[in-house]
Amino acid sequence: MSSNIAGKIVVITGASSGLGEATARLLSAEGATVVLGARRADRLQALASDLTGKGGKALALTTDVADRSQVGKLVEAAVQEYERIDVMINNAGLMPQAPLERLRVDEWDRMIDVNIKGVLYGIAAALPYMKRQKSGHFINVSSVAGHKVGPGFAVYAAIKHAVRALSEGLRQEVKPYNIRTTVISPGAVATELPNSVTEPDVAERLKKFYGEIAIPADSFARAVAFAVSQPEDVDVNEILFRPTRQEL
């Protein structure tokens, strides 16, 4: 597996915890160079130091994906330092679930800014370089909620459906440039994600659900590694996985 991961320049948003961090660790162990973006500079720096201490190559850049110029700078930093970008993982996100009638409109706005505009900004930043290289790989993070809608997570589900629609459109458009696109839709994975819920009753229910069934973040990292490690003429477009115990 490692032959097609080693040496690749991989930019990861939301790399300071959870799925992004686990992916940085696995890909770095497989020989990729990782360029890490998120807002918590201390967490990013600690991760980069840990990876370089283990012999890997890592660069950390404080990035708010809701700000297009910051996402641009993250990708530019990767290209300036390592001369290209092979994989762009648009992973940063939050999940402040709540029923629509509670009108957490500020949280709807935040999810739109981070979970979908952040992905669009990642595409805008990396696509020109990948077109020029005539190679590249986008990995966008959706969710089981990108396939299923249920009460209490309508906005999150709408945005994760949008990530899948966007990824399919991107897939079709980038054919001439030899660019691959993968959308990964995880079920419940043990990360800090439930911490973004602000409604106490929802938070309690969700933490109980995650506590009972969530699987380790490495499950996601292995799905990324599977997609990235394929031969260049194989484009893995969709991966949907859940904990074996997860019903919905």
Ligand X SMILES: NC(=O)c1ccc[n+]([C@@H]2O[C@H](COP(=O)([O-])OP(=O)(O)OC[C@H]3O[C@@H](n4cnc5c(N)ncnc54)[C@H](OP(=O)(O)O)[C@@H]3O)[C@@H](O)[C@H]2O)c1
- Which residues of this protein are in contact with ligand X, per CB under 6 A? 13-20, 38-40, 43, 63-66, 91-95, 114-115, 141, 143, 186, 188-189, 191-193
Nearer to ligand X, 219 or 229 (CB): 219
Nearer to ligand X, 68 or 131 (CB): 68
Nearer to ligand X, 131 or 148 (CB): 148
Rounded distance, CA 221 to CA 22, Å?
6
Q: From the CB of 192, what's the least distance to ligand X, in Å?
A: 4
Q: From the CB of 214, what's the least distance to ligand X, in Å?
A: 6
- Of the residues 121, 129, 156, 210, which is catalytic? 156
| Cβ–Cβ under 8 Å, residues 20 and 14 | yes
Q: From the CB of 171, what's the least distance to ligand X, in Å?
A: 19
The string of DSSP codes covering the chain is -GGGTTT-EEEEESTTSHHHHHHHHHHHHTT-EEEEEES-HHHHHHHHHHHHHTT-EEEEEE--TTSHHHHHHHHHHHHHHHS---EEEE---------GGG--HHHHHHHIIIIIIHHHHHHHHHHHHHHHHT-EEEEEE--GGGT---TT-HHHHHHHHHHHHHHHHHHHHTGGGTEEEEEEEE-SB-SSGGGG--SHHHHHHHHHHHHHH-B-THHHHHHHHHHHTS-TT----EEEE--TT---
Nearer to ligand X, 166 or 178 (CB): 166
Rounded distance, CA 242 to CA 214, Å?
9
Nearer to ligand X, 34 or 38 (CB): 38
Q: From the CB of 8, what's the least distance to ligand X, in Å?
A: 20
| Cβ–Cβ under 8 Å, residues 10 and 35 | yes
Question: How big is the CA angle at 66 (ends 60 and 71), to the nearest 5 degrees?
Answer: 40
Q: From the CB of 38, what's the least distance to ligand X, in Å?
A: 4
Catalytic site residue 156? Answer: yes
Q: From the CB of 238, what's the least distance to ligand X, in Å?
A: 14
Nearer to ligand X, 177 or 241 (CB): 241
Q: Which residues are catalytic?
A: 156
